[in-house]
């Protein structure tokens, strides 16, 4: 799978509304056939920082995502709400779901 984590530094005046600002993009991405997950989290230390954790089944699914109409719309819509260009970590990993964190196993 293609595993991506991206940090978004949102303008403080938009931080409280980030979920609604990204709602259409998030819903459309989650509906893509190759999207495994697409989840936003707000930083506990900085309420204007959001982390996006996303995964796509393979290269074709990732390509379909970045060439989709909703991705192109997000490219036009989201930057006006940001302080800086988002930072990203992008890897191919040989799995298709989350693994268990054995060191914190629930028994």
Supply the DSSP symbol for 94.
S
Supply the DSSP symbol for 31.
T
How much is the pTM? 0.92
Q: CA distances (Å), 68 to each of 62, 71, 87, in order?
A: 10, 5, 21
**How far is Cα of residue 8 from the mean position of the Cα atoms in its chain?**
9
Domains of the chain and any CATH numbers: 2-93 (3.30.70.100)
The pLDDT tens digits for 70-97 are 999 999 999 999 999 999 999 999 999 9
The pLDDT tens digits for 12-70 are 999 999 999 999 999 999 999 999 999 999 999 999 999 999 999 999 999 999 999 99
């Amino acid at each position: 799978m293609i595993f991506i984590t991206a940090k978004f530094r949102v303008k403080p005046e938009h931080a409280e509304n980030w979920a609604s600002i990204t709602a259409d993009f998030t819903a459309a991405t989650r509906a893509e056939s190759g999207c495994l997950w697409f989840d936003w989290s707000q930083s506990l230390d900085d309420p204007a920082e959001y982390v996006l954790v996303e995964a796509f089944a393979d290269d074709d699914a990732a390509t379909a995502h970045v060439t989709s109409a909703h991705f192109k719309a997000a490219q036009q819509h989201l930057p006006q709400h940001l302080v800086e260009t988002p930072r990203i970590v992008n890897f191919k990993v040989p799995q298709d779901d989350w693994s268990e964190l054995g060191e914190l196993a629930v028994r």
